[in-house]
Amino acid sequence: MFSTFFVNTCILVTFLYITGVISQRYKIRLQNLKRKAHWIGGALFGCYGIVLMYYSIPVGFNTIADLRHLAIVATAAYIGGPATLMATLFICLGRLLLFGVTTQAIVGAFFMMLVGLGCVLLSNLSWSRLTKLMMMNVFALGIIFCSLTINLNDIDDVLNVYPLHFVISMAGGFLLYLIAESINTSNELLLRLEHTSFTDYLTNLSNRRQLEFSLEEKLPQARQRHEHLSILVLDIDHFKEVNDTYGHAAGDAVLRQLGQILRKKCRSFDVVTRSGGEEFTILLPNCAFRQALRIANQILGGVDQYEFVVSDGLILKVTVSIGVTTFPDNGEDMSGAALLEQADRALYEAKNAGRNRVCSYQA
């Protein structure tokens, strides 16, 4: 009996690890789960519960004992109500379809549904996750005791299996918590590290590394799909004077606010990058030259009209110069570095022509 419960625990731990790998692969975070993730998570844990039933202990006619309730408890503690109901439904149907529709199976499925509903209610309480998980476990074990008592109709038979079931379930629940928290913390740190490595710390835009990765991805796509790919490179005019006159804190405030302007003026899928100092680069997928020129002029006008608020309520006015180039207008056999160089040349032309303007590269 102990070995069967131990196998149940090992299976559940393995399933937790698999779930952790999936959530890491698809960058799923517990803090902002989408509805689709709820349904998929509920279905997964429901399947886990069904597998646990295959490794159960027969304790009476068509009556089994296992740790399937921990799949419901884990779903309620880490995913939420809709997923818990989904997992519970899977487990109840699995109990009936895989082991026969008998009175004992119906009783077991009914009480397991009560477990799911109770865990949904407990999951909404403002307790710590460990407290909720352990209280759900105790609640589920109480419901299971009632189910076994009805099915076995002999308290002595129930007491032959229930104490060990209770102890291993509580230990398994605590082990589940430790492993799930470790996986969640590890995934959170990995996502944070990944975000940091590709994000500019000051503006929260993409950084140079992300720009290079995006360019390596988007340029071959544009070539394969016969689409245009445009690049804007812009630079704040006389930015050194802002730093020298008002201090670097004021310069940082200007950079942050400029980043917000660029996000608003660009499309949601454009790659907006602070590529260094006061220079920004914008990658515009599936964007022909005229559309890129229109976006560049929108940025130019937006910056020119914007009042940059720095320390102590001081308001500054700044302008930018912008260089534009488009693939494949200036050559089809071109690398990403060559495209960036074309945009840089157009930027220098804008600066040499008097700044606060847009210039395009002409081959």
Q: Tell me how far CA of residue 311 lies from CA of 245, 252, 298, 319, in angstroms.
A: 12, 10, 27, 19
Give yes or no for a contact between 34 and 198, defined as CB atoms under 8 angstroms apart: no
Burial-class residue 69 by CB neighbours within 10 Å (0-12, 13-18, 19+): buried
Residue keyed to tokens 């040499």: 352
CA dihedral 343, 349, 352, 358 (to 10 degrees): -80
Tell me the residue type at 280.
F
Angle between helices 68-78 and 155-197 (to 10 degrees): 40
**What is the Cα 141 distance to its own chain's centre?**
33
Which of 188, 278, 279, 341 is the catalytic position? 278
Give me the sign of the Cα torsion angle 173, 174, 177, 182.
negative
Interacting residues of 169 by C-beta distance below 8 A, sequence separation 6+: 67, 69, 70, 137, 140, 141
Phi-psi group of 80: left, alpha or beta (phi > 0 → left; psi -120 to 50 → alpha; rest → beta): left
Compute the distance between CA of residue 15 and CA of residue 45 in angstroms, rounded to an integer. Answer: 8
The reply to whether 278 belongs to the active site is yes
**Which residue numbers are catalytic?**
278
